[in-house]
Amino acid sequence: MRDSANRVPAKAIADDFDDAADAYRARQYRSALEVWRRLADRGDADAQYNLGCMLLRGEGAPADDTQAGVWLQKAAEQGQGDASSWAALTGKQADEEKRKSLFARNMPQASGHFTITYVATLDNGNSIRFPCADPMKDAAAKEFQLGLMYATGKMGLPQDDLQAAKWWRRAADLGQSIAQANLAYMYSMGRGVPQDLRQARLLDSKAADQGNAHAETDLGLLFERGLGDAPVDLVAAYVLYRHASDAGNDVAHEAAVALSYRLSKDQRGDAEALIARWQSGAPLPDEIRSKLPK
| In the chain, domain spans | 7-131, 139-289
DSSP state of 228: T
Reduced to 3 states, what is the DSSP secondary structure of residue 3?
coil
CATH topology of domain 139-289: 1.25.40
User: Quick one: pLDDT band at residue 190, thresholds 50, 70, 90?
Assistant: very high
Question: Over the stretch 197-227, which tens digit does the pLDDT of each residue have?
Answer: 889 999 999 999 999 999 999 999 999 999 8
* Model pLDDT, residue 7: 46
Is 7-131's fold the same as 139-289's? Answer: yes
Q: If we measure between CA atoms, which residue out of 271, 276, 248, 249 comes closest to residue 260?
A: 271
CA separation for the pair 142, 116 (Å, rounded)? 13
Q: What is the pLDDT of residues 51-103, one digit of tens each?
A: 999 999 999 999 999 999 999 999 999 999 999 888 877 755 545 555 555 45
pLDDT attached to residue 109: 52
Residue 272 has pLDDT above 50, yes or no: yes
Tell me the C-alpha to C-alpha distance, in Å, between residue 222 and each of 22, 195, 208. 48, 15, 13
Decide: 248 and 212 in contact? Cβ < 8 Å. Answer: no
The pLDDT of residue 113: 86
Contact predicate 179/147, CB 8 Å: yes
Query: One-letter amino acid identity for 47?
Result: A
In CATH terms, the fold of domain 7-131 is: 1.25.40
Lowest-confidence pick of 14-18, 210-214, 281-285 = 14-18
**3 state DSSP class of 119:** strand
DSSP 35: H
E-only strand ranges, 142-272: none
In this predicted structure, the answer to whether residue 191 has a pLDDT above a threshold of 80 is yes
What percent of the chain is modeled with pLDDT above 70?
88
pLDDT of res. 45:
95
Give CA–CA dist 20/136, Å, rounded: 16
What pTM was estimated for this model as a whole? 0.82
pLDDT greater than 90 at residue 229: no
Q: Return mean pLDDT, the chain.
A: 89
**What pLDDT, in 10s, does the model give residues 132-141?**
999 999 999 9
Backbone angles phi, psi at 119, to 5 degrees: -115, 125
